[in-house]
Structure formats: structure tokens, C-alpha cells
Structure 1
Amino acid sequence: MLRVNGLVRQFGDVLAVDDVGFEVPAGKMVGFVGANGAGKTTTMRMIMGVLAPTAGEVSWHDQPVNRAIRTRFGYMPEERGLYPKQPVLDQLTYLGQLHGMSSEAARSRAGDLLERFGLGERTKAKVESLSLGNQQRAQIIAAVLGDPLALILDEPFSGLDPAAVDQMSELLREHTATGVPVLFSSHQLDLVDRLCDSIVVLHKGRVVARGDGEELRAGAPLRYRLTVDQDAGWVRDARGISVLDLDGPTALVEPDDEESAQHLLRAALERGDVREFARVVPTLSEIYREVAA
């Protein structure tokens, strides 16, 4: 397990990361979300030792992370780290060696992954000659070389087309299936919701929500959509009901509790047919906007 405990990072008078703590369990994928400037990249840099924390610590199996352990982490930084004028396979081979692989093993593994992701014929191409999407593929391949203990990926899906997103998702799942913890940041909240076992929401340097999608939704306000066969204006006078939106026969309401919701349903049935009475389950994007307001 990778654990972040009480991380703080101060830049002069700016508190960029404020007492951030969370866990990335073995074999689990954790999504790290937040607006630009929320502190995600700074936190990832502290996990990787690129930045020293002002306070707090990062631990691996309940022991402080040291340099030897960090060299076994796969890292994809915000600023992509491939050299533009070097051939892609030579560069990946070199990066694999930095992770302790032999030259032969690194070249073989990198070649297999390049072939898998449609770059088998571009092994001698310079990185700068690849499309942005293919550069992204190569960068992710660099992160997973060397049997990483953990993966720390800053916006790994940025710039990828849907097919490439599916390929990379499959690659990450292969690693979690062997027990590798994966932490990745993304602005693609629907993708985070689909892939991740849990989610950490960062806002202005602090963790404002965490849990799996179901847990985050459980903490959302109780809301229902009611559609009747007549004008629903009478709902404004219903006991224990706040009307969020009203459009003819349809009302979006926020009851005080389930009892108030059921009372509203009975009142609607007494007035005529009910076309719809459904719990409105918020999307992750809607939850994020509420907790980060």
C-alpha cells in the first residue's frame, strides 16, 4: 500500500498543499481530481521525491519511502520527459535501464509494448516526429517499464483518442491485477468514475472528498424528478419539499427526507397519473462541483 500522510507544501506565502492524506491500496486504481492549481501535481511530485514536503510523509508498506523504493515507481510527470530528438526505442531502452533492467530486457519489453500500441513500425522514429497521441503512448510505456511497484501518472489520458484510452485502461488494469497500486490524475471525470476503485477530490490544496463513486453519491443531497400528467406547480406548497426546478408537468425537488419524498408521491397520485418519480443520481462532475464550490 502507498500512503500519503499529512503532506504540506509551502511556496513562500502560498500554501499549495495543505495536510493532504490518502491511501492507494495494492491492486487498486485511485483517481486524483481537482481544478488546475488544486495541488495534484505538487502532491505527485512530493510522492516521487521531485519536491521535498514542507511537512508530512509518504510511506510504502508502512515504511517511509526512500530513494531505492522510488526508483521502482513508474512515474509520468505533467511535463512529458522524453527527449524529442532521440529514437523512441533507444530512449525507452535507456529509461528501462535506469529502472534496473538489462539493455536486452528493456529493449525487448519496450519493443513489445510499442508493437502492442501500434508503434511497431516507428521504433527508429524520433519522438518529435510522432503525433501527440503517439508521444503520449510512448510516455506511458516509459512509466510501466521495469515492473513498477506503483504507478504515479499525471494526466495519462490527455490527448488520447477513444481507442487509445481503451488500450491504456487495459494496460493499467493488467498492472492492478498483479497488485500494483495506481494513482492517476485526470480532468476526464467520466473516465475516472468508470475506471477507479476510489476517488480523491482536491480543492485549493485540501482533500474535500474521498471514496468510491457510490460513497460519494451517498453523501449527495436527496433529489427526485417528478413528472405528472398536469401542471406540477402545486409542488411548491408540498410539505418538506424544496423545488429546484419546475417546468410544466416536471419538477426537480429536494425533499427533507425519504418520508417527505413518499408523501409527495402519494399527493401526486391523488391528483392523477404519475409519469415519473425517480431518484436523481448525481454524476461525478456534479458531485465535484458541489464539494469544490
Structure 2
Amino acid sequence: MVNAIEAKGIVKIFDGFRAVDGVDLIVPKGSIFGILGPNGAGKTTLLRTLLGIIDPDEGSRKLFGASRPLTQSARVGYLPEERGLYQSMRAVDTIAFMGALRGLPLTTGRKRGRELLEEAGLGYAADRQIRQLSKGMAQTVQLMGTIVHEPELIILDEPFSGLDALNQAKLEKMIRAQAERGVTVIFSTHVIAHAERLCERIAIIAGGKISFDGLVQEARDRLRPQVHLETANLDGPWRSALPQNCEPEGHWWHFTLPESGVEPLLTALVEGKAGIKSLSIERPGLHDAFVAIAGEAVAAQMDEMVDETELQTLSAGAKL
């Protein structure tokens, strides 16, 4: 089966700076694929290179098996990070215009545009000018223009940036709906939670290099589950089933699940009369996996970016 995207050894240099540095990447058809990393990591440059908007200085890439990606542009919907719409154009005409750029007849684009707006609960805004819409509504219109020609591949560069929680949820719903149609969706983000909720596969990028490419489950499986145990007793033969350096906090014990698994642990606790009062096993989240893969410094940078985004969202909401 031909993959949606294949890249090998991609390098892109600007003024001596390697914005993308030897990237290998495969995106299977029909997947939701997240490119996760902080600002300046190389996400946008990588996406533009994969699409053929810019050429790599080294390496090769294929889009639907074609070594010249621009020949496949009619099969692609691309939402760049920089938003830009004609302010005097009506919402429905904006959607139709963007579809026409991909070869969709204007009449078909207007019809589909109204349908998309109705499905999103924005049918009332179809004939309003872009300048009359809120920022979230305008971004939704631009997203609809990205998908109106029914592409096989949708690429979204930081699509959640600047959206409030309600519009973020709507966008997630639209992404899932496209994936259910069999469309391949790639989006870049610095918000780990979006990738964890939506993606089957991710690539983690920092400093132009990809440190992980695979299933979200595989990233999380790099870390063992954590056990949270409360016992009535604090000593007994069952203590040998716990890690040697494990010390209680009151009657609570917190430790990494042994490689032997949970069943031997439970047997030792029961037979050794630990007096189990509470036991939970917590699988590591994608954030924990990201820290382990990319490092604490990159993770801290990502967390700071999320905080700034949340402050901007709250500020924008206060002005409405």
C-alpha cells in the first residue's frame, strides 16, 4: 500500500541554520498523525517541505508515491499557521473560493460550503462577511475551505492556536469526522493533550530532529505503569514483592510496576496479609513519555507555550 507521505533524510537549511535536520518520516494512509514539538522545532518547515511548497536541500520525499508533491495538490487540503482571509468576502464565498483553488467548481463549492456551515451550527453566518465573524468562526470558515474539495490528505499547521475551549472541541470533532471518512489527517501542535486525544501516531521533533516516530501507545509503553497501593499493615513477607527502595508515605506506597506484572504482586500482597485497602495502576500519559523522549528542557518549553496560549485565550474571551 502506498503511504500518504514518505520522507528520507530531509534537510532544510536557512542561512546556515538547519531548520530540518535529517528527518525520516512515514505517514500511513487513513491515520491521524501528530507532529509534536515547541515553537522553532521545525514543524512548519517540515510540513511545507513535505507538501512541495519548498524544496529540501538534501533528502527526498513522496506524496502519494509522487516525488513531485505539487502534482498531487488537488488531493490535499492545507491550513497554514498564518491565517489570511479576504475580510469583505462572504463566508460561503470564501469556502467556495478556497475549493476553486483546488479545482472545485464554484457552484459546487458554495453548495458544500453551506452544508458544512449548517453541520457546524453556523448556517446563519453563511452570508456574513469575514470581518463580521469572531476569530474562532473565521478560523472555522478557513478550515472548511481546506476540506470543501474533499481531499484525501489534510495538513493542519497549529490549527488549535488562538481558539477557545469550545472551538477547540469543535475542531477536534471535525478532525475525527474526516478520519472516519478514511482521510489522512496530519497536524502540528505544541499542546500534548491534543495529540494524546486525537492521534494514532505521532512524531516528536525538536531542533529540527525527530526523536520518536510511531504509535502513541508505543511512546507510552516506553515507561512502565505506576502502582499506588494503600495497605493496613506496614510490614510482612509481602514487602519483598515491592521495589527495594520503596518506602511508605503513611500507609501509601508508590512505585513502578515490576516487570513480572500485576498478578505476582497481588498474590504476594494477599498471601502475605498486607491488608490491601486500595490499589490502582496508572499507565503513563503522553506527557510523561514526551519528557522521557525529548527531555525535560523541551517539555518545560512546551508547558510554557501552553500557559501563554491559555492566557491569550482567556484574554480574548474577556474582550468578547
Q: Which TM-score band applies after superposition, normalised by the shorter structure?
A: 0.7 to 0.9
Which residue of structure 1 lines up, in the alignment, with residue 125 of structure 2?
A: 122
Which residue of structure 2 lines up, in the alignment, with residue 66 of structure 1?
A: 69
- Structure 2 CA distance for aligned equivalents of residues 196 and 261 of structure 1: 31
Q: 1:137 to 1:264 in 2, by over 3 A?
A: same
**Runs of 5+ unmatched residues, structure 2:** 296-320
| Structure 1 residue 184 displacement after superposition | 0.9
Which residue of structure 2 lines up, in the alignment, with residue 90 of structure 1?
A: 93
Q: For 1:164-200, what per-residue CA distance to the aligned partner results, in whole angstroms no more than 9, with x for missing partners?
A: 4444334333333333211012233233222222122
Q: More deviation in 150-159 or 265-274?
A: 265-274
Q: Is the 8 A contact 2:7 2:61 kept in 1?
A: yes
Runs of 4+, deviation exceeding 6 Å: 234-239
Q: Is the 8 A contact 1:59 1:65 kept in 2?
A: yes
Q: Is the 8 A contact 1:27 1:175 kept in 2?
A: no
Q: 1:213 to 1:110 in 2, by over 3 A?
A: same
Amino-acid identity (%): 29
Q: Is the 8 A contact 1:241 1:256 kept in 2?
A: no
Which residue of structure 1 lines up, in the alignment, with residue 134 of structure 2?
A: 131
Q: More deviation in 2-11 or 153-162?
A: 153-162
Q: 1:154 to 1:265 in 2, by over 3 A?
A: farther
Counting only pairs closer than 5 Å after superposition, residues 1-293 of structure 1 correspond to structure 2 as 1-2=3-4, 3-221=6-224, 223-230=226-233, 240-243=243-246, 247-254=249-256, 257-258=259-260, 262=264, 266=268, 270=272, 272-293=274-295
- Structure 2 CA distance for aligned equivalents of residues 194 and 42 of structure 1: 25
- Structure 2 CA distance for aligned equivalents of residues 181 and 49 of structure 1: 17
Q: Is the 8 A contact 2:33 2:202 kept in 1?
A: yes
SS of equivalent to 1:172: helix
**Runs of 5+ unmatched residues, structure 1:** none
Residues paired across the two proteins, number: 291
Q: Is the 8 A contact 1:93 1:103 kept in 2?
A: yes
Q: Is the 8 A contact 2:81 2:158 kept in 1?
A: yes
- Structure 1 CA distance for aligned equivalents of residues 84 and 35 of structure 2: 21
| Structure 1 residue 237 displacement after superposition | 9.2
Q: 1:74 to 1:283 in 2, by over 3 A?
A: same
SS of equivalent to 1:124: coil
Q: 1:104 to 1:267 in 2, by over 3 A?
A: closer
